[in-house]
Structure 1
Amino acid sequence: MTPTLNNDRALVLFSGGQDSTTCLAWALSNYSHVETIGFDYGQRHAIELTVRPDLLKNMRAFSPEWEARLGEDHMIDLSLISQLSKTAMTQDIAIEMQENGLPNTFVPGRNLMFMMVAATLAYRRGLNVLVGGMCETDFSGYPDCRDDTMKALQVTLNLGMATRLKLETPLMWIDKAQTWELAEQLGGTAMVDLIRTDTHTCYLGERGALNDWGHGCGTCPACELRARGYQQYKSRG
């Protein structure tokens, strides 16, 4: 059953990966107007930025309704992040755990800055919902992906800009298998196949051959989460 559309105007943080693409499908199913924002922050897996244009094109072509709802895409240069951070996401170094218990793929302040910039753009564009793929159920432990962080950030942004922005995180309490299931609920097996073939998640930026779960090295934390989730999703089906 098609849900009743909300007339709020949404801005989706869209990287070109599995989670943000699922969030975009969710937003297009729930809001009458949706725009997207992406960030070039000197990421090691910058290939995700190269898949975004075709992925957006395919999302527009998914249905006439989505074509009508999907508005402008915004690409923002945040290379400042790579100048401030020495992480496995911004430099060619081995992925490993740090003394603080977090993997060195954690980029301090990244999601906080993403949301702040997105809120600033939303203010100018007249958009009142920010949609992000943050999740604390099946993730690498990043503190800026947690629900408490997002709730506190929503309060801070609204206080600082005198707005009533809503921060929506539709993946917050579901695991990767359920993320695949959500994609199927939103767009059937065609959406699952689009995410499997057209999105990019691998931290090392490896595209390579197409695996049953998608492209990637298969061994980095992002690939392991994605592959394990896909296998669980298929076994449940």
Structure 2
Amino acid sequence: MNVLIAKTKEECKVWTDNIVVVDVLRSATTICQLLQRGKRDVRVFEDVSKAVAFKEKNPQFTVYSELDFPQGFAHEDNSPYAASKADAGTPALVVTTAGTKALFGARQASQIFMGGFCNFYELAALLKGLSRDVLLVPSALFANKDDAEDFLCVSALKDFLQGFGNAELAVNDVKNTLRYVEFIKHGPKTAKEDAAIALRVNGLPIIPTFQFAEGEDYAACFAYGQQNAAEAAPEDAVVMPSLDAVNQPQATKEDSAATSTKSSSKLRGFFSGFLKTVKEEEKELMETFQKSERPLRPAETRETLAPILDPVDQILQEPQAPAEQNTVAPEREVAPKPAADITKIPLAGRRKKKAIVLFSGGLDSTTCLYWALDKGYECEALTVSYGQRHDREVLAAQMITRNLGVKHHLITLNLPWLSCCSLVDKNQKLPDVALEDIPKEGIPSTYVPGRNLMFLSIAGSLLDAVEADAIIAGPNAVDFSGYPDCTPAFFKAAGEALNRGTKRGVREGIEVLAPLMDLSKTDIVRLGAKLKVPFELTWSCYAGGKKPCGHCDSCKLRAKGFAEAGVHDTSLD
């Protein structure tokens, strides 16, 4: 499943997979609040004239809108605070400046959801389980593109689904925007109350979904997991099945209601604990950071984030069957089970996506290459020779790409100042510290100044030239040697820069993916075994030679990963 951010209204109108419309301060939060109040009949309209015509025929509906209506036409503001006071038994009609226009612009989608910070984690949990691609649509595209809060929210949601990102920090960013200040100072009389509801992360754990009825001017809205109100969907309505109902036996209304209630209760309980845990861990990590010069290492957050990490986690949760060339140690044998399939990227109706894979020929980058191929990407591999003390990795990269039939680009850099690094200067001694002391050593002498920054810049240039869609790299922030350019924060910033500094990024948006970022070396080995990575062809040792030295940081971390995974490292044969 790919998560993309819409850049234009036209992109939304032709999208046929899943769509999430994000309108942070008003529409999404207002609709979530109406559903949270218990309303079962909520309808949204694209413009005022159609809403007025419907209201005249159906006076029982309460209208929520910030738009100008004919004189004497009574309606509530498009206000989450006003919605929080709504009568649960009264049907509602919503028509807004941007949010409902975005919904109608997205009506070709197979499923449409709506959200913001108010249902952030609930929405993330749902999207994590989807198989088809997701387009995140900032409603500001349909009104004022300077409304930064929608763009900040979709960026945070995309980052979070890819294993990093923080909703609470994004909320702080929103509060520092001119748009937010103007909204509080010059917005509606309920602006402060509305903002408090809209920016309370996951305060309204409910997900609106929509159905467009043929021949009607509205879309029926109801809470995901609940059945649409009968009067809100005429007999000829195009009804989209709930994801929970796919491939499931037909259930009674009572069964569905009980299942929905149970599911919602579990999700609310999980995310209540999740939010508390994230805040506590963030405080602890910041205290650790203030005491150390070493980069933050998010290993401790992995268990908390596991339910919404990259789909590779689904593979790692399965017992590992031995690969043909990578046998599992006898003491770790498990009862055989069917291998878990890795979700393929759905490409129907669109060209196959292309990725530039930063490829050293080591364990991590080779696993990334196999991961990308299995995900359905057309790959080109990029290897950079920067004067490292041996060419063993480069030879490994050439051999692996040749065996896969993947186009390989080998670039040579001659930067004399890199001799400050023991990975380049053969006269310097490579570090040899105990495995348990590696995290305590800070930034080691093997750190190559700006290496990943240079690699990503070159990859961005190649991406533009060959019109690729993504850059995929293998950094790891769990079992690593403390390099500052292997952290989630660095890759997030680099991804933002590449989206602003490349033609493809500006016009269509690109992805910078780091699927191994939150995996331990043990998890990476297990993933590699599942993908049938030829471990015997990969090379990780800093020293070079015919056989790995076994003493450098890379050798020790690799050995630890294979030992804990119970997988034999065939590169040692």
How would you bin the TM-score normalised by the shorter chain? 0.7 to 0.9
Match of residue 3 from structure 1: 343
Q: Distance in 2 between matches of 1:134 and 1:204?
A: 20
Match of 1:161 in 2: 502
1:4-23 alignment to 2 at 5 Å?
4-5=344-345, 7-23=352-368
Task: Indicate if the aligned counterparts of 2:474 and 2:515 stay in contact, CA closer than 8 A.
Answer: yes
Q: 1:22-61, aligned counterparts within 5 Å?
A: 22-58=367-403, 60=404
User: Taking every aligned residue pair, what percent have the same amino acid on both sides?
Assistant: 36
| Alpha-carbon distance in structure 2 between the residues aligned to 1:131 and 1:2 | 17
2:540 corresponds to 1:201: yes
Aligned ranges 1:33-112 → 2 under 5 Å = 33-58=378-403, 60=404, 70=406, 72-80=407-415, 82-92=416-426, 93-96=428-431, 101-112=442-453
| Corresponding position of 2:464 | 123
Q: Which has the higher contact order (CA 8 A, sep 6+)?
A: 1
Matched residue of 1:224: which SS? helix
Aligned length: 209
Deviations 1:73-111 (A, max 9, x none): 11111222x5444111111111249xx931000011010
Corresponding residue SS for 1:31: coil
Structure 2 counterpart of 1:171, from 490, 510, 516: 516
Please say if residues 381 and 401 of structure 2, whose CA atoms lie closer than 8 Å, have aligned partners that are also in contact. no
Mapped to 2, the partners of 1:4 and 1:87 lie a distance apart of: 40
More deviation, 28-37/223-232? 28-37
Residue 184 in 1 paired to residue 529 in 2? yes
Q: 1:31 is matched by which residue type in structure 2?
A: G
Alpha-carbon distance, 1:172 to partner = 0.3
Q: Aligned letter for 1:26? A: W
Letter of the structure 2 residue corresponding to residue 11 of structure 1:
I
Residues in 2 aligned to 1:224 and 1:171: alpha-carbon distance in whole angstroms: 18
TM-score with structure 2 setting the length: 0.35
Contact 2:418-2:448 at 8 Å conserved across structures? no
Runs of 4 or more, structure 1, over 4 Å off, are none
C-alpha contact 1:200 1:207 (8 A) present in aligned 2: no
For structure 1, which segment, 42-51 or 88-97, has the greater mean C-alpha deviation from structure 2 after superposition? 88-97
Give the letter aligned to residue 409 of structure 2: H
Match for residue 561 of structure 2 among 207, 229, 237: 229
Question: C-alpha distance in 2, partners of 1:147/1:207?
Answer: 34
Root mean square deviation of aligned Cα: 1.8
Q: Assess if the C-alpha contact under 8 Å between 1:45 and 1:202 holds in 2.
A: no
TM-aligned CA deviation for residue 57 of structure 1: 2.6
Instruction: Give 1:64's aligned residue.
Output: none
Aligned counterparts of 1:231 and 1:112: Cα–Cα separation in 2: 32
Distance 1:230 1:37 in 2: 26
1:2–1:178 Cα change, 3 Å: closer
Deviation at 1:2, TM superposition (A): 5.2
Gaps of 5+ in 2: 1-340, 347-351, 434-440, 568-573
Q: 1:128-147 counterparts in 2 under 5 A?
A: 128-147=469-488
User: What SS does the corresponding residue of 2:420 show, helix, strand or coil?
Assistant: coil
TM-score calculated relative to the size of structure 1: 0.83
